[in-house]
Amino acid sequence: MKDSLGKRIKRNFGLETEFEKKKRVEENKKANQKGIEYFERIWSKPDVKKVHKISTNQFKTLLWKVGKEYFKGLNRSFVVDDENKYFLDLIAKYFSGDPAFETETGGELRKGLMILGPCGTGKSSVFDIIRKICIDYNLMQYWFSNVSVHDVVTEFNKHGESIVDKYSKGVVHFDDLGTEKMVQLWGVKENLFKRLLQIRYNNFKLKGTKTYVTTNHSIKDFEKIYGKQVYDRLFEMFNFIELGGESRRF
């Protein structure tokens, strides 16, 4: 944004008119937003040139290998037990595009994923591991953005409507869906994710854009949280997979 000496003098001595001040603030906001978007584009995807396919068994091997490395970095062990073994098998089949996923679950590979289960069972971690697989093994056909619903709310409160556009596009994993707070726009409270889910449903219908979600809620809870219309659309957007068991954080 151009800032002449005359403008700086007027600003520094408080000589701006209300119109000039308002215009300057708007221009600063636009410039700031462009900067934010530029750096988010840089960091949202690794620089990868090669994309190749992978079988279900190969994907399982990578889940185990990268999973162990991931949890080692957290000073924990990658626990595979009777509760999560079948879940990890389904995840490998889904991301490798194995038709057996549809046969076993009655779901559809074209849909996104909603992972349901108690706290600490590893729902969020599996998406972190898959993103690391994408980076380490150049498997960018599986890439997705990864964000907590709480961070989306914080971003919206800071930057406004541009955040709706940002999270309406591309494949995104939203962590902890249903636990987010309301946002405020011009003094009016809104459930932001009710709107985001509706937009992403439309993008799924038009473009096949997938959404991934992890949540501690039951499916039925979402009818109360987001209303019947969004609730009904969830069944068209998502494959539902449960991950049970006790917390694996310790």
The domain spans of the chain are: 1-29, 111-242
- What CATH number has the domain spanning 111-242? 3.40.50.300
Please give the pLDDT value at position 37: 58
For 129, 135, 137, 139, 140, the CA distances from 50, given in Å and listed in that order, are: 20, 11, 9, 8, 8
For 31, 44, 157, 162, 211, the CA distances from 37, given in Å and listed in that order, are: 10, 10, 16, 10, 21
Please give the pLDDT value at position 118: 87
Mean pLDDT per 10-residue interval, the chain, length 250 residues: 50 65 70 54 49 84 94 90 90 96 96 93 94 92 95 92 94 97 84 96 97 96 96 97 75
Residue showing tokens 């289960």: 117
| CA dihedral (58, 59, 62, 67) positive or negative | negative
Q: How many CA atoms lie within 13 A of 26 on its CB side?
A: 6
pTM over 0.85: no
Alpha-carbon distance 129 to 124, whole Å? 9
Please give the pLDDT value at position 43: 44
Alpha-carbon distance 145 to 193, whole Å? 16
135: Cα separation from own chain's centroid: 17
